[in-house]
Amino acid sequence: MRAFAILLWASLGLAVAFLGIPLAALFLRVPPGELLAQLGSETARDALWVTLEANVIAQALVVLVGTPAAYLLATRRFRGRDVVVSVLELPLVLPPAVAGVALLAAFGRTGLLGGELEALGITIPFTEAAVVLAVCFVSSPFYVRAAITGFESVDPQLVDAARTLGAGAPRVFGRVFLPLALGSLGTGATLSFARGLGEFGATIMFAGSLPGVTQTMPLAIYAALDQDFEVALALGALLVLASIVILLVTKALPRWARSPSTSAPLSARSLSS
């Protein structure tokens, strides 16, 4: 038993050391003051702005489209549903470079929809729109999966009670499903946003790495490796801090969703108002 306990603690220590030492080295390599100074560089500012702008727009699109889509998949059973879910989840296991090539094959000038888009005067590859689409493509499955799980976890008896009280489908969705699935939706959104912040492969293939236009923070880190390693360290440290915040939010959301203030019982008054 003692040997087994030692094995367990040794495994945990090895895992923590392997994952923690590189992150610690990121901050220890350059003093905090110098990191902040490097973050004030034009390259860092431009990359940060492009990253935040693209991810905020992409996240809004993912939530607006993914929420009703996940609700439909969670509450309806139809022929081909499993195939649809598999298609929506495929980017989770798809190599990022393949995702970029697929986006080019679909929206490039010689792509599947390239002719139609060019006739409308729309050019997507290597533009800001390409960054948004690349982020949507790789991050949306994280939100959709969590949203489906959240909607499926809603107690059917509560749904039946709401319908008995005369609530229609839109009101049941807004007054029953959304509040009860809010924790899962929030977790999915934060994970999706985190995935978008770190997107590299699909973006560089489909949008390129044009400073101030399509160069996101991961792309700026890659570009700075040979030119200014301190800038690469600063951008990397900022992404680590952002990831820590996102991780803390993700852990806090389920507890917040289970709090009394967010899980008040349904009433006829709330459903009819």
Residue 5 lies in a domain: no
> Quick one: tokens of 222?
């890659």
> Strands, E, within the chain: which ranges?
none
Residue 271 — pLDDT band, cuts 50, 70, 90? low
Residue range(s) defining the domain that contains residue 170: 33-94+127-272
Mark out the alpha helices in 76-127 (DSSP H runs): 81-89, 96-107, 114-119
Asked whether residue 116 is assigned to any structural domain, the reply reads: no
268 lies in some domain: yes
Residue 260, pLDDT > 80, answer no
221 domain-assigned: yes
The whole-number pLDDT of residue 218 equals: 92
d(CA 107, CA 111): 5
What are the tens digits of pLDDT across the range 100-148? 999 999 999 888 898 888 888 899 999 999 999 999 999 999 999 999 9
Does residue 239 sit within a domain?
Answer: yes
Q: Could you give the number of structural domains in the chain?
A: 1
Residue 270 reports pLDDT greater than 70: no
Q: In this structure, is residue 220 part of a structural domain?
A: yes
Half-sphere exposure (CA, 13 Å, Cβ side) for 8?
Answer: 5
- Separation CA 43–CA 51 (nearest Å): 12
* pLDDT tens digits, 20-61: 998 888 888 777 777 777 777 787 888 889 999 999 999 999
Report if residue 257 sits inside a domain.
yes
Asked whether the beta carbons of 253 and 183 are under 8 A apart, the reply is yes
> Residue 222: which CATH number?
1.10.3720.10
| pLDDT tens per residue across span 219-251 | 998 988 878 787 788 888 888 888 888 888 777
Given pLDDT bands bounded at 50, 70 and 90, which one contains residue 257?
A: low
CA torsion through residues 43, 46, 52, 54, sign: negative
d(Cα 235, Cα 247) in Å, to the nearest integer? 18
- Flag whether pLDDT at 169 surpasses 90: no
Token look-up 């967010």 returns 262
Domain assignment present for residue 51? The answer is: yes
Over range 83-102, report the average pLDDT.
Answer: 93
